[in-house]
Amino acid sequence: MQTTSSSDAARRWCTVARQYDPRGHRPTPVPVTFLYRREDPLCVEATFHSPTNGDVVWKLGRDVLIAGTRAPAGSGDVTVWPASAATPDGVVWLRLGPEGEDALLSLDRMQMSAWLMTTCLLVPPGTEEDHLDWTLLDQLLADR
């Protein structure tokens, strides 16, 4: 199930990821909401909804997500990569957290790519800094 919504300043995608257990158990469905806002043009907020543990929120680089739909991208606590050409299910893999304590999730690659394209219509890649609010930084520098 997937739902998307948009406004003049935000794009939202609600979907279900599959979390894979390192012990080989069946993947667990995890509802997730991705939110992209013009005011925070470099990041995507991903909220993973768990009925037992509450919501877990991650800030992910939009550029990393976009790149990860085509080739391995990211480093450290966030990596994204498309399934190999030999894998017919059309997923994007998302690994979150430090090694040994990480979560491995899969998302539908076509749906993710389509949603990311809507964020690019809102803020085209390369124009993100035009949408940043520099007021606080300007004030800090003026006080020096």
Find the domain containing 92 and state its range. Answer: 3-142
- Tell me which of 21 and 63 has the higher pLDDT: 63
d(CA 40, CA 42): 6
> Which tens digit of pLDDT belongs to each residue from 32-62?
999 999 999 999 999 999 888 899 999 999 9
d(CA 90, CA 70): 11
Instruction: Report the predicted TM-score, pTM, of the whole model to 2 decimal places.
Output: 0.84
CATH of the domain at 18: 2.30.31.20
Tell me if 95 sits within 8 A of 103, measured CB to CB: yes
Name all contacts of 26-31 with Cβ < 8 Å and 24+ positions apart: 27/106, 30/105
Number of structural domains (the chain) is: 1
3 pLDDT more than 80: no
